[in-house]
Every structure is written in structure tokens, then in C-alpha cells.
A and B are shown apart, each in its own frame.
Chain A
Amino acid sequence: GEQVEQRPPHLSVREGDSAIIICTYTDSATAYFSWYKQEAGAGLQLLMSVLSNVDRKEEQGLTVLLNKKDKRLSLNLTAAHPGDSAVYFCAVSLMPNYNVLYFGSGTKLTVEP
């Protein structure tokens, strides 16, 4: 089955800096890519998702990059602020069953004032 590796497991940045989280996957049939944010004691909040025909997507200070050749997905938080402190997960699914999401193991991001 699909294997998703996420790094780093912990990331600490200062307010205003960028934070980059990377996921790699193994299956070339992977076709749907998403990022979730989990605040302490809460459920997962969908941040952004892309299909495999999209290489780059930007929304509200977040940038998702997809490199299909290297099977790599990244999330870039530009100008991070303390409210971005949370655990971030990538999640992918394969054709044809988009219902089955495979998650990375998470990155705990701390943004210091």
C-alpha cells in the first residue's frame, strides 16, 4: 500500500518566518493531495487540497507545491504567526478510490513571538 513519510516531526520558527513541511509518497497512482491542521485537543481542519494536475496552489499565506517526478508534496507557511502553532498532516489518496486517505505522521509546528 501507499507509504507517506512526513518531515520534520517538529519545527520551531519565529513569528514572521517561513515554515516548510514536506511529505513524500511512494505510489505513482497517488492523485489527490491535502493538508490538515490540528490544534490541541481538536479535530482536523482541512487547509488545502489539490489534484495531481496542479503543481502549485496559494491561498491566504499558504503555498502547496507538488513535484510528481520526485513524489514530493510540500506546505509552505509564509510569515508564520503564533496562531499557526499546531500539528500539520499531509494526506493523500490514490486512483480510483479517493475515499481512502493515507496520512503522514504529522509535524508539530511552534511559532515563537
Chain B
Amino acid sequence: EAAVTQSPRNKVAVTGGKVTLSCNQTNNHNNMYWYRQDTGHGLRLIHYSYGAGSTEKGDIPDGYKASRPSQENFSLILELATPSQTSVYFCASGGGGSYEQYFGPGTRLTVL
């Protein structure tokens, strides 16, 4: 069974609209992460969380908010989506005494 799931898998949004990407993990990991992947770049960290109620800024947090309402769920929120946020977004979980991170299948977001 997939331990990190993301929804939706594909999303088309309009410029200026609000977008929420959701992530759920069944690994019982404390830490969760949001990355974006663009052509020519590896993954870049947007926000991460150490546990329910916590969010931390990663390398590229501008234009994004995050929410961690529970151990299992971590959301990425684009309040005012822009075309530059068109990308593939990956969620990951990690922790439990290990530095390893385990990734979800990704969400392809297109902002028109």
C-alpha cells in the first residue's frame, strides 16, 4: 500500500485563484515536506513540518503557505496562484530516527 498519497494528481487553476494541494501519510512519521520539481532543477524544498501544528520555511517559501492539522496530513496552499507556480509538486514524509524521506507520486499543477 502506498504510504504517501497526494491529491489531486492533476490540477488546472486560474491566475489569482486559490489552490490547495493535500498530502496524507501512513508511515507515522513526524516530519513532512513539500517540494516542487521544475525542468533543469532537482527538487526544491518549499515548506516542511516537524509535527501537527508546526510549519517551517524551506528554500523557496514565497507565494506558498503550509498547514499541518494532524500527524497524517500536510497541505500546501497557494492563496493567489501565478503561472510561475506551474510545476510538479511532491510531498514526502520522514523521521522515526532516520534521515530518509519517502515521496508521494506528485501533483502536476498548471496555472493558466
A46 & B101 in contact (Cβ 8 Å cutoff): yes
Shortest Cβ distance from residue B50 to the other chain A in the assembled complex, whole angstroms: 8
Supposing A91-B42, A105-B40 touch, asked if A46 and B33 sit within 8 A by C-beta, the answer is: no
A100 & B90 in contact (Cβ 8 Å cutoff): no
**Residue A43 contacts which of B58, B94, B105 (CB distance < 8 angstroms)?**
B105
C-beta contact mask, A24-66 vs B, less than 8 Å → 1, else 0? 0000000010101000001111100101000000000000000
Shortest Cβ distance from residue A29 to the other chain B in the assembled complex, whole angstroms: 14
C-beta contact mask, B20-59 vs A, less than 8 Å → 1, else 0? 0000000000010100000011111100101000001011
**Interchain CA distance A51-B98 in the complex, whole Å:** 11
**Interchain CA distance A43-B88 in the complex, whole Å:** 10
- Chain A interface size, as a band, is 20 to 34
B99 & A49 in contact (Cβ 8 Å cutoff): yes
Known: A46-B102, A100-B58, A106-B42. 15 other contacts (CB 8 A): A32-B99, A34-B99, A42-B105, A43-B105, A44-B43, A44-B92, A46-B100, A51-B99, A89-B42, A91-B43, A100-B45, A100-B48, A100-B59, A101-B33, A101-B43
